[in-house]
Amino acid sequence: MASTPSGTHGGMADFNIHHGFIEALIRGMRSSFLADSDYHHITQCETLEDVKLNMSETDYADAVSDLTVLTPSGLQSAAINKLVTEFKYVRTQAVEPLATFLDFITYEYMIENIMLLLKGALSGRDINELLAQCHPLGMFKESTMRSIPTFEANAKGFADLYQTVLVDTPVGPYFAMFLQESSNAMGGEVRNVIEEVEIEIIKSSLIKYWIEDFYQYVQKLGGETAEIMGDILMVRADTNAINITLNSFGTPLNEPVMRTSDRKRLYPAVGHLYPAGTHMLADVSTEEELGKVLDLFPQYTSIWSVHAAEAEMSIDDAFYERDVQALELAFESQMHFGCFYAYVKLKEQEIRNLVWITECILQAQKDEINKFVPVFSSHAPWRSSTKAR
């Protein structure tokens, strides 16, 4: 499925006709990110009450004032709700093709929510509890969401689930492609697919289709959006490919038969590693071989060496750092859509940072507290700045 944008967004001279106000709005929201000084104050706090006091001087003042007692999970949901409010405000003002672009950002969360509901249905959890755990950016109609776990957990139930419920959601086409490809591989048995294949593999496949679809859409928009978003999505696709490979070691997915048939199908057809790298990754069976493949790609040697050396930073943090670097670049130039995606992702990173810091304070692990990736920091490794913000 390749969505086609209803038009291009115009270059420097006419981007502002439809998107000038909204872009300036998002760029104004850039000042709401926590600065180095804010992180400094928060990491120095001894208790969560102090954290709450410090947070009330930042842009999170309103979000935090509603919490009577600050807990990491409470802070996370308050911060996510703040992000969702801002996103919805921007989304209501957007016109095509920006509206579809913003919708693409939400599809990722919709896929996560559907997988959460399916997994919950399989283990028989309560629907209300599951709905409370869903990410707010990826909600669709409540009746649809409530009906997902009610389907029977057998072959016929899943087929019905897709045909009646999922096909109407915006991510329906991704399911259709997944079922098509899986039934091709398994020789035509559509109904058994969802039952036999693990939920994680379904999720990886859906995210792969989403990345490819988003990439095609962005390329059709052309101009600077294609350049900047294309780069961001390629880095994302490569991160997924490397993580899939890394996580498959020690699982049945790593067996030679499974590698070519199943694991290879999970690699996105987008990215610096595609097509030569993913072809080689399909044959990799140990971490050493993975390292040898990544040596051929200069962008990833430094990340891999972080993992191989088992240094202070985990490989996830190294990937996050690479992501943050690419996303900050989206704010460096004007008149394109990259800043919208970058804003959502960088806010997510900030929320991750806040949860990490509050967890460290709660568990009194002060030596681990600085292992987060700050956003728009003047101390970032790629930024040689003489002036602090």
Partner 1 sequence: MGHEDCVSKFCNAGWGEVLSRLSPYGYANFGIAFGLGFSVVGAAWGIWLTGSSLVGAAVKAPRIRSKNLISVIFCEATAIYGVIMAIILANKIKKPGDGITTELPEDWDFNSFYYAGFGMFSAGLSVGLTNIASGVSVGIAGSSCAIADAQDASLFVKILIVEIFASALGIFGIIVGIIESNACNFPIGAAE
Which residues of the shown chain bind partner 1 in the complex (CB under 8 A)? 12-13, 16-17, 20-25, 27-32, 334
- Of 201 and 335, CB closest to partner 1: 335
CB of 86: closest distance to partner 1 in angstroms?
10
Q: Which amino acid is at 296?
A: L
Nearest distance in Å: CB 346, partner 1: 14
Residue nearer to partner 1 on the CB measure, 21 or 129: 21
Tokens 């959601």 — which residue?
Answer: 169
Q: What are phi and psi of 8, to 5 degrees?
A: -90, 170
Pairwise CA distance, residues 152 & 363, whole Å = 42
Sign of CA dihedral 150, 154, 155, 156: negative
Q: Are the beta carbons of 39 and 249 closer than 8 angstroms? A: no
> Between 21 and 309, whose beta carbon lies closer to partner 1?
21
Q: Which amino acid is at 313?
A: M
CA distance 123 to 327: 37
Name the residue nearer to partner 1 (CB basis): 30 or 119: 30
Q: Which is closer to partner 1, CB of 15 or CB of 319?
A: 15
Of 9 and 307, nearer to partner 1 (C-beta) is 9
Do 176 and 167 meet the contact criterion of CB atoms below 8 Å apart? yes
Query: Least distance to partner 1 from the beta carbon of 222, Å?
Result: 19
Shortest CB 340 distance to partner 1, Å: 13
Nearest distance from C-beta of residue 149 to partner 1, angstroms: 40
Taking the least distance from each CB to partner 1, the nearer of 23 and 108 is 23
CA distances from 86 to 25, 62, 282, 338, 346 (A): 10, 13, 41, 17, 14
Q: Rounded to the nearest whole angstrom, what is the least distance from the CB of residue 24 to partner 1 in the complex?
A: 3
* Residue 201 in tokens: 């593999």
Nearest distance in Å: CB 16, partner 1: 5
Q: How far is the CB of 27 from partner 1 (least distance, A)?
A: 5
The pair of structure tokens assigned to 362 is 């709660």
Rounded CA-CA distance 124/367 in Å is: 40
Task: Please say which residue, 24 or 167, places its beta carbon nearer to partner 1.
Answer: 24
CB 105 within 8 A of CB 341: yes
Instruction: Give, in degrees to the nearest 5, the angle at Cα 270 between 265 and 276.
Output: 75
* Three-state DSSP string of 266-285: HCCCCCCCCCHHHHHHCCCC
